[in-house]
Chains A and B, each alone.
Chain A
């Protein structure tokens, strides 16, 4: 019985992983050159920033909240980094901690508004989204290109694994973030509190858990993750621009949902989110390999996948409720 129960908790993740393997296999059978380690590594290279953002979002969604400001936060971080490096000639070693601090502070402020003024996360982070995009344009309307040597070096460094296959420094950052997130979620008090808060805020309060602190910290974490994603995105694009990462918040939410995190809160795994991101990446890669399909099919495919997974969640929840009532 116990084994069976454990299995069912992992069910949404298993579906995601299986789907990823099926898609990868289908691509490998259909297209020449698809089945290679480098294609897989490219998924990580091209989606490192999405992965970092999605990790932060996973925590927010597990508490039952949502953060719509992540895409704008990425754009703002690229813009801030670019202007500080290019126009004010700050050292990258000062710029990066500074932008991370700004992102965390941004998240912290939104968390405070949500917690202490009982505003809906949806509307507060919506305002945050407007604000961050607007601030980008206050810095500059044009795109700012970065020609700082250090940024260029980091951006072009290839870390070779197993012969000719390589990853970028961004991927290493993303993997470190994922490892840290798994540790935080499953082996720290904060992680337990996050799950408890998502399960039931009322019960967590009655149990004496630090609900207020946890909630504010979750949004701070998401702000930190999105600004770190912004730093990685700066490496990727080598420029700052107010129109970078438009619509990223939806990609991020989709990745988290496809990764098996329930939008009602309380259930979800960082590992699932990795596969959610990879599935989005593989859809893009498949469409690229296919050649004739246009880029907008990505949006339609992600929409359909989102629908299927939400449906799956629904079935999952209603079964759980039924079995809970029976027991």
Chain B
């Protein structure tokens, strides 16, 4: 555990330090109108949707799966919630809860669809979730009728843009789900079940674990969390955009999970690693903005980070260098003896 968290934490620390050197006020937090303001708070706030999705993605990847449809689910729930609120009274709580409830049901249905394809029909996760990734954007555009839906609802915008006790409300949401997820996976057997299914589904089934059910639940959970991120994202800007909401989130989430030290081959997972991974990605984005580098470079930087992290994780990389060193040592010895 120590080992796995080491590199992600070092990366995060280096990023934060680089920011501190560039901007000495980076760590300062000020109080304005009773709210805490500062770059660190901003990073936490902006990372919230990604953190939530990444928690779900960690479970999926731990079962040796992958969920490409998270971005589409984000846009579907955001669109549905905004649609219902725009039809009703924006300030009424009952409208808000109807909107949230129906949208979450949609997210659960999306997750159930993915889960059924993977667990019951045995389709490869990449392909199974690809279907919803393609079709889901179409569904989201269908809901918003291809327009960008703008709403004005105080209670809804509180989710993504509100403050509670001086901190952005979204931070409480991620804290809540992180604690629930950690307790659920580390204090009960569920975490162990997920890891065993990811390591060897057949053996787990023979040991009495209902592998199919676990895989199904994991996909439902991932969609559920993506749905909640959909609320945070759309309420933050008080609008729903079927085309662009949650775009590239599937990639960022996978990236966060991988950077956090989780293996794409399933098995052991580290929730805290994932959180650090998501924070690294957000810090990277924020620092690129604050350092005045064109934001488009983010993509290049991200790709380099993914490759480097994957290379460090890959055994082949290590062994190639070990072999080369051995060869060099050998050659040196021969050179000496000759």
Residue A257 is within 8 A (CB to CB) of chain B in the complex: yes
How many of B's residues come within 8 Å of A, CB to CB?
47
B264 and A303 within 8 A (CB): no
Q: Is the Cβ of B135 less than 8 Å from the Cβ of A299? A: yes
Q: Which of B124, B131, B142 contacts A296 (CB 8 A)?
A: B142
Cβ–Cβ contact A141 & B296, under 8 A: yes
Whether A123 contacts B264 in the complex (CB less than 8 A), given A130-B303, A254-B134, A300-B135, comes out as yes
CB <8 Å contact, B307 and A310: no
**Inter-chain contact A303/B296, CB cutoff 8 Å:** no
Q: Which of A118, A294, A296 contacts B314 (CB 8 A)?
A: A118
Binds A, one of B81-89, B156-164, B175-183, B315-323: B315-323
On whether the beta carbons of B134 and A123 are closer than 8 Å, the reply is no
User: In whole angstroms, what is the CA distance A130 to B298 when docked?
Assistant: 9
**Is B130's CB under 8 angstroms from A306's CB?**
yes
Stretch at the interface among A30-38, A132-140, A144-152: A132-140
Q: What 0/1 readout, one digit per residue, does chain A (147-174) give for beta carbons within 8 Å of chain B?
A: 0000000000000000000000000000
Please name all residues of chain B whose beta carbon is closer than 8 Å to the beta carbon of A298 when the two chains form the complex: 138
Of chain B, the residue at the smallest CB distance from A110 is: B307
- Could you give, for residues 56-98 of chain A, a 1 whenever the CB lies within 8 Å of some chain B CB and a 0 otherwise? 0000000000100000000000000000000000000000000
Report Cα–Cα, A116/B254, bound state, in Å: 23
Q: A119-B310, A138-B297 are in contact. Are A310 and B127 (CB under 8 A)?
A: yes
Across the interface, do B126 and A122 meet the contact criterion of CB distance under 8 Å? Answer: yes
- Chain A nearest Cβ from B115, distance in angstroms: 14
Query: Is there contact, CB below 8 Å, between B123 and A113?
Result: no
Whether A117 contacts B303 by the Cβ 8 Å rule is no
Scoring B128, B139, B303 by chain A CB atoms within 10 A of each residue's CB, the highest score goes to B303
- The answer, yes or no, to whether A290 is at the interface (CB within 8 Å) is no
Residues of B298-316 contacting chain A, CB below 8 A: 298-304, 306-307, 310-311, 314-316
Contact A117 B137 (CB under 8 A): no
Which residues of chain B come closer than 8 Å to A15, judged between CB atoms? none
A257 to B139, CA, bound (A): 22
Tell me whether A303 and B134 are in contact (CB under 8 A): yes
Contact status B141-A302, CB under 8 Å: no
Q: How large is the interface on A (under 10, 10 to 19, 20 to 34, 35 or more residues)?
A: 35 or more
CB of A311 within 8 Å of the partner chain: yes
* A128: chain B residues within 8 A (beta carbon): 303
Contact check, B296 vs A242: say whether CB atoms are below 8 A apart. Answer: yes
Closest A residue to B144 by beta carbon equals A296
Q: Which residue of A lies closest to B123 (CB)?
A: A310
How far does the alpha carbon of A122 sit from the alpha carbon of B67 in the complex, in Å?
A: 13
Neighbouring A residues of B314 by C-beta, 8 Å: 117-119
Known: A131-B303, A137-B294. A300 touches B121 (CB 8 A): no
Q: How distant is the Cα of A84 from the Cα of B10 in the complex, in angstroms?
A: 41
Residues of the A chain whose Cβ atoms lie less than 8 Å from the Cβ of B128: 310
Is A118 touching B316 in the complex (CB atoms < 8 A)?
yes
Q: How far is the CB of A199 from chain B (nearest CB, A)?
A: 17
Interface flag for A124 (CB, 8 Å): yes
Q: How far, in angstroms, from A263 to B130 measured CA to CA in the complex? A: 12
Contact pattern, A 277-312, Cβ under 8 Å of B = 1, otherwise 0? 000000000000000001111111011101100110
8 tightest A-B contacts by CB?
A303-B135, A137-B296, A299-B138, A134-B299, A134-B300, A130-B303, A296-B141, A131-B303
Q: Apart from A127-B310, A128-B303, A314-B123, what are 7 other A-B pairs with CB-CB below 8 Å?
A: A134-B303, A138-B300, A294-B141, A296-B138, A296-B141, A300-B135, A306-B131
21 contacts between A and B (CB under 8 A): A113-B307, A122-B264, A123-B258, A123-B306, A124-B307, A129-B251, A130-B306, A134-B297, A134-B299, A141-B294, A242-B296, A257-B127, A263-B124, A296-B138, A300-B135, A303-B138, A306-B134, A307-B131, A310-B123, A310-B127, A310-B131
